[in-house]
Amino acid sequence: MPGPRPPLPLAAAITAGGQSRRFGQDKALYRVDGVPMLERVAASLQACAPRLLIAPPGRYDLPGWTVTPDLRPGLGPLAGLEAALTALPQGAEWVAYSAVDLPYLTARYWALLHAAVTPGAQAVVGRDGEGRGQPLAALYHRSALGAVQAHLDRQDLRMRSLLDALQVQAVMWPQVRDAAPLAFTNLNRPPA
Ligand SMILES: Nc1nc2c(ncn2[C@@H]2O[C@H](COP(=O)(O)OP(=O)(O)OP(=O)(O)O)[C@@H](O)[C@H]2O)c(=O)[nH]1
Ligand SMILES: [Mg+2]
């Protein structure tokens, strides 16, 4: 039987400041196989420290996670990343940054991204079957903060546009699939 997983030298941040408009109810609390999506994502990141929950104070109670609000509320997950990178303690170089609506992420997925870190990289993403990197289940280096702030300053809120501005390392789909076959199943709406 495999022993307990060793800690990963990564901070973790789950961004959960959204309004779930398409979902029609708070999707963080929506249960998949009996477990709220927020708790499922948190479980995949349990080997990381510190663990930050980027959400308005009082919205969620997730033991072991420190609630850290957006510095610029209402601007979407790119602002959540600003809050996460700003809150990184000294000595923490990388944060595993995740949306709440990817309920099939696994600890192996994050370990795979971590194993792909190379010197000089500012982000590590997994690629889906079409070759697209998933910015909302990715690692970001603290040196990405300047580009994040520059995008927010000019109201470019697209995570993919941020990736275009960073040194990005990618993990290809076949390896991602081995670590988490449904990693990129993204529940923006309730399943049919
Ligand atoms: N910190 C933070 N996270 C956000 C914000 N807006 C969205 N998110 C999170 O980013 C992730 C992906 O966002 P969406 O899929 O667009 O979620 P959403 O905004 O709640 O959903 P829609 O209202 O349907 O767009 C989810 O984990 C959201 O909770 C925000 O303003 N701040
Ligand atoms: Mg949204």
- Domains of the chain in sequence order: 11-179 (3.90.550.10)
Q: pTM score, two decimals?
A: 0.96
What φ, ψ does residue 187 adopt, rounded to 5°? -90, 80
Query: Which atom of ligand 1 is nearest to 27's Cα?
Result: 20
Q: Is 70 annotated as a binding residue?
A: yes
- Is the shortest distance between the CB of 169 and ligand 1 below 6 Å? no
For the record, the structure tokens of 113 come out as 């991204």
> What local confidence, expressed as pLDDT, does residue 19 receive?
97
Q: What mean pLDDT value characterizes the chain? A: 96
Ligand at shortest distance from the CA of 78: 1
Average pLDDT over residues 52-78: 98
- Exposed (0-12), middle (13-18) or buried (19+): which is 89, by Cβ within 10 Å? exposed
Question: Taking 60 as the threshold, does the pLDDT of residue 28 lie above it?
Answer: yes
Average pLDDT over residues 81-92: 97
- Is the shortest distance between the CB of 100 and ligand 1 below 6 Å? yes
> What local confidence, expressed as pLDDT, does residue 1 receive?
57
Ligand at shortest distance from the CA of 15: 1
Task: Name which residue sits closest to atom 27 of ligand 1, judged by CA.
Answer: 99
- Is the shortest distance between the CB of 82 and ligand 1 below 6 Å? no
- Is the shortest distance between the CB of 147 and ligand 1 below 6 Å? no
- Reported ipTM exceeds the 0.90 cut: yes
pLDDT (tens digit per residue) in 117-160: 999 999 999 999 999 999 999 999 999 999 999 999 999 999 99
Lowest-confidence region among 5-9, 17-21, 122-126, 133-137: 5-9
**Longest Cα–Cα distance in the chain:** 51
Give the C-alpha distances (Å, rounded to integers) separating 154 from 76, 151, 158: 14, 5, 11
Ligand 2 centroid – CA 187 distance (Å) = 12
